[in-house]
Amino acid sequence: MTSKVLVTGGAGFIGSHLVDRLLRDGHAVAVLDNLSTGRRENLADAGDRIEFVEGDIRDLETLRSAVAGVDTVFHQAALPSVPRSIKSPADSHAVNATGTLNVLIASRDAGVRRVVYASSSSVYGNSPELPKRETMPTAPLSPYAVSKLTAEQYCRVFHHVYGLETVALRYFNVFGPRQDPNSAYSAVIPKFIRILVEGRAPHIDGDGEQTRSFAFVENVVDANVRAAAAEGAPGEAFNIAGAERISINELDRTLRDLVPNAPSEPASHGDPRPGDVRHSYADLAKARDLLGYDVQTPLGEGLRRTVEWLAER
């Protein structure tokens, strides 16, 4: 069944891929983005098939207008990055926590059926228990993680108190085409690819033995679509990740095999980043059971496609 949907942060990396999928599925798509980290060129494939609103989720009245007549809100808008939040915790809170509260208030008042919220694996903190399960205690280590968990709790409360259907998806290290490799806060995969393409060796924070469950963006998009429809999902949080666990050192070696003429010079190492978790690996059983989620694109294929996309630029 097709409907009108809103994607907040729809000009961003993940949001724009979600917009493309929703259009292919036949939905009427509106996008709300303030273009602080999103870019209009990410929506080039969408063309004039979307309704684009340049606005900020910190403005409740803008949101009230954007959600009018909408069935589902895919709430991707956020101020990303742990280091950025450590530098400016108030900004992270205003966008990620208060902004999400605004999304929920506007959605509740407009009669939106469901809000699918982009949460983060950072809510688990540095617990040594692996894999990370949704039943584990949360222990955020950074203002970013606190803001994402606060918003997630607002989603749960709005479901239980007001009956608004909400689903939180805890993303684990999403990567893929359109991810900005040039930002001071860019994620490790696009940053490493850019450096290797330029013929330089990457710098690794810490000893490089920290591990991650990287999720290719198309898998994350599929999870969002499933979360919008699954009957048992409202009021719940789900891990969304890749199926494999890889260390940063192993990631460096893998990318060198994929990047033509990558340098042989070894990576340099420095101190660990403040707020970083040591190991991150997701248990996907709940997402499989209630959402029907599964990893469609494995890590190696996702990395290859990402290298090709970035190398062209």
pLDDT 10s digits, 176-188: 999 998 876 678 9
Side chain identity at residue 298, one-letter code: P
Separation between Cα atoms, residue 228 and residue 290, nearest integer Å: 12
Q: What stretches of the chain adopt beta strand conformation (E)?
A: 4-8, 28-33, 50-54, 72-75, 114-120, 165-171, 174-175, 203-205, 211-212, 215-216, 236-240, 246-247, 268-270
Does residue 28 form part of some domain? yes
Task: Supply the pLDDT for residue 115.
Answer: 99
Separation between Cα atoms, residue 98 and residue 80, nearest integer Å: 15
The residue to which tokens 């009669």 are assigned: 111
Phi and psi, residue 56, nearest 5°:
-120, 135
Token pair, residue 129, equals 């228990």
Task: Supply the pLDDT for residue 36.
Answer: 94
Token pair, residue 130, equals 């692996």
Phi and psi, residue 66, nearest 5°:
-70, -30
Phi and psi, residue 302, nearest 5°:
-65, -40
Does residue 110 form part of some domain? yes
Does residue 267 form part of some domain? no
Separation between Cα atoms, residue 43 and residue 10, nearest integer Å: 8
CATH number at residue 29: 3.40.50.720
Does residue 183 form part of some domain? no
Separation between Cα atoms, residue 227 and residue 222, nearest integer Å: 9
Separation between Cα atoms, residue 29 and residue 53, nearest integer Å: 11
Does residue 211 form part of some domain? no
* Sheet containing 50-54: order of strands: 50-54, 28-33, 4-8, 72-75, 114-120, 165-171, 236-240
How many residues belong to the chain?
313
Does residue 168 form part of some domain? yes
Instruction: Quote the domain boundaries for residue 38.
Output: 4-174+216-243+282-296
**Which residues participate in catalysis according to the annotation?**
144
Task: Supply the pLDDT for residue 313.
Answer: 77
Task: Supply the pLDDT for residue 185.
Answer: 65
Does residue 310 form part of some domain? no
Work out how many domains the chain is built from and give that number: 1
CB 247 within 8 A of CB 185: no
Task: Supply the pLDDT for residue 103.
Answer: 98
Separation between Cα atoms, residue 195 and residue 117, nearest integer Å: 32
Does residue 187 form part of some domain? no
Low-confidence ranges of the chain (pLDDT < 50): none
CB 73 within 8 A of CB 107: yes
